[in-house]
Amino acid sequence: MICILLVAGHGTVLETQIKNDDTGLYNHLTGVPKALLPGIGGKKILDFWWETVNMRQIFTAVYLVTNADKYKHYERWATANDFPVENVVNDGSTTLDDQLGAIADLELVIQSRKLHDDVVVIAGDMLCADQNFDISQVIRFFRSKPGELIIYYEMEESERRSSRGIVEVCPETHRITHFLEKPQEGLTDSRLASVVFYCIRRDTLSCMLDFLRLQPQSTNRTFGQFWEWLINEKQLDVFGMKLPTGFQLIGQVGLSDYTKWLSHYSTKKQDNPDEPIICRSYARVGLIGNPSDGFNGKTIAMSISNFWAEVTLIESQTLILVPHPLNDPTEFGSLQDLFCISRQEGYLGGLRLLQATCKKFYQFCSKRGIALTKQNFTLKYDTNIPRQVGLAGSSAIISATLKCLMKFYKITDNDLPKPIRANFILSVETDELFITAGLQDRVVQVYEGLVYMDFSKKLMDEQGYGNYVSMDMSNLPPFWLAYLRDPSDSGRIHSNIRQRWLSGEQMVIEAMRSFAELTDQARKAIQDRDWTHLAQLMDQNFELRRSVYTDDCLGSGNLKMAQLAKQFGSAVKLPGSGGAVVGLCLDQERLVEMRQAFQEAGCVFCIITPYNPSASSVRGLP
C-alpha cells in the first residue's frame, strides 16, 4: 500500500496575513508553508502526519506532493526528518493561477512514479485534534470493505456545513449514500464532515483520469467534486469510517481561524489530562412483567440509588485492569479462608466483566467503522450491589465500564445509540461470558429511571430492539426490597423455561402473554397513580411466575420471603432472577412491622430510593 501526502495548495490568505500581522507574534512564521506551521503541542503539522504514516509494515512507500514555490522548504524538511527526499514530488506550479488541483496532483505522482497499488491520500496541512491517532485501524477497516473509504468526523456546533464536504452514511453498511460538497443549510441534516483522508483501491484510480477530462478547470479538480461525481453520479461503493476527533484544513483559512482552532484543539488536549473518568450504573428492580423480557414480553423496571456499581478510568502508559480486593481476591488469611470465600462467592468476580467489555468494545468499534486512539488506561471498579440476588449487579459493572470507555474515546450517542447500547451490554454477558440474561436489566441501566419495555417479536425482528419508554417518576409510592444474606446462584431460577418456550409449550407461551398484559395494565395504573391496583398486579405477577416456574425452581428462600410479606398485607414479587423480593405496602404501620419481621428472619430490608436521572443531573450526581 502507498501513502501520498498532499501539500501542493497555494492558499495565500494565511501566508499574507502572517506577513502583514503588526503584532510581531508571527514574524518567525513568515514564508513558512502551511504544513510546516506549528500544530498541536508545538509539533509541526506535517511532523504529526509523517509520524502517523511512517509504518513500513503498512506502507511500502510514502510520497509528498508539493509545488515549485515551496519545494525547497519541504526538501529541507525531508532531510531533517528522515523522509526520502527522492519521494518529494514537485508539481511545477508557482501560483494559485497555475495550480493543478488536488486530483491532478494525485494523478501526477501515480503516473510519474508508476504506482500500481492501493493508496492512502492525506492532506498534510490538516490539523488533527487527536495526537494518538492509529492509522492501522483505518487500513484494517478499508480492507474489510469492497470499495473506497472516506474518513469523516462529527462537526462541532460552531462549524458550518457550508464549509465542509458532508457525507450521509448508512449506519448498518457504513456505505456513503450521498456526498454534498459545502452544501447550503437545509439540504441535509447530516453533520458528518469528510476530511482529506481517503483510501482508494488501485482499480479505481483510473476513474481520476475520466474525472480530469470532465473538469478542465483546476479550480474544479477538488476531492469534494470528485467524490460527488463518483458517489452521486457513478454510484460506486464508497464507505465511511468515523474518527471521534476533529479536523481542520488550514489551506484556505486566515490567521484568526488558524490560531483559534490551534488553541481550541490544544486546550482540549490539555484539559484535565490526568483527571479520572468515574461512572456509575445502578441496580434495578423489575416491578412488573419479568421474566418475560427474554420471551418477547413486556416489563416495567426501575433503577434504584440504594445500590450501584462504580467504574473509574484513568489514562496510563499500559492497559491495566485492577482486581477488586473483595470481589477478586488473590490473597487469603488461610486455606480455610480461601475455602469459605470460594464456597460462598464462587470463582467469578468482576474483573472478567471489565475485560470482556473492553474486548467487545474494541470489536464493536472496529466493525462499526469507528477508529479508536492509541491511548491506554487503567480500569478499576467498586460495587455495593449484593451478589446473586437478581439485582443486575453484573450488568451494572458492564454498563458503568461502557460509559467510561465511551467518554474516554469520545464515542457519542449517535455512534452507540441507547437501544444498541443495551444490546451491547447483553452480548458481553451472553456471548463472552455465557451468563443467562434478558434485555430488561440492560435497558433500564442505559435509560435509567422508570422504564416501560416492549420486547415483542415483531419489534425485535424488524429493528433488533424493543420499544422503550421512560415514565414519570414523580410521587411514586414507597416500594421496599428484601434479600437473603446467603443466596444461592440466582441463575438457576431460569430453570428449563427457555427450552419449553422454544418448543412451543402452550402453558409457557400463554404465561408470557399474560406477563405482557399485566405490564400494560400496570403502566396505566402508574400513569393514573392507582397504587392499589398496581399492588394487585404485582401479586398476580408473582403467582403467575410461581405457576409456570414451580416452587422447586423458585426456591424455599424466595417463597419464605414472599409468604412473610403477605402476612403483612403487602404486594410482593421477585425483582429479578431470585434471591430478593420487591414489594408495595400501602399501610405505613404494617410496613414498619414488616421491616422488623424480615430483619428478625435474617434478611436485609430497605425502603427503595428510586434513581431519577433527570433529578440527579440537576444535582450534578454521576
Q: What are the residue numbers of the active site?
A: 441
- Rounded CA gap, 114 and 91, in Å? 16
State the virtual CA torsion across 28, 32, 35, 39 in degrees, nearest 10: 0
User: What amino acid is encoded at 208 in this protein?
Assistant: M
State the CB neighbour count (10 A cutoff) for residue 69: 16
**Which residues touch 610 (CB under 8 Å, ≥6 apart)?**
302, 303, 304, 305, 449, 450, 473, 476, 479
Task: Point out which residues pair with 380 in neighbouring strands.
Answer: 312
Quote helix, strand, coil % in the chain, to nearest 5: 45, 20, 35
User: What amino acid is encoded at 186 in this protein?
Assistant: G
User: CB under 8 Å, gap of 24 or more: what pairs does 610-613 form?
Assistant: 610/302, 610/303, 610/304, 610/305, 610/449, 610/450, 610/473, 610/476, 610/479, 611/282, 611/302, 611/303, 611/304, 611/305, 611/448, 611/449, 612/449, 612/473, 613/303, 613/448, 613/449
CA distances from 254 to 16, 18, 95, 217, 408 (A): 9, 9, 18, 25, 32
Q: At what angle do helices 418-427 and 393-408 cross, to 10 degrees?
A: 120
Helices (H), 121-280: 135-143, 206-214, 223-227, 255-270
314 φψ region: left (φ > 0), alpha (ψ -120 to 50), beta (else): beta
DSSP of 58-90, one letter per residue? T-SEEEEEE-TTTHHHHHHHHHHTT--GGGEEE
**Which residues touch 218 (CB under 8 Å, ≥6 apart)?**
98, 99, 100, 101, 104
- Whose cell is 503539522? That residue is 45
Identify the H or E element spanning 599: helix 588-600
Work out the angle at residue 335's Cα, subtended by the Cα atoms of residues 333 and 338, and round it to the nearest 5 degrees.
Answer: 75
- Rounded CA gap, 412 and 592, in Å? 45
Grouping H, G, I as helix, E, B as strand and the rest as coil, residue 155 is: coil
Query: Nearest to residue 35, comparing CAs of 229, 212, 217, 196?
Result: 196
- First-to-last alpha carbon distance for the chain, in angstroms, is 46
- Rounded CA gap, 599 and 334, in Å? 31
Task: Point out which residues pair with 379 in neighbouring strands.
Answer: 313, 321
Helices (H), 185-235: 206-214, 223-227
The three cell numbers of residue 84 are 526520502
Cβ atoms of 66 and 91 closer than 8 Å: yes
Cβ atoms of 216 and 210 closer than 8 Å: no
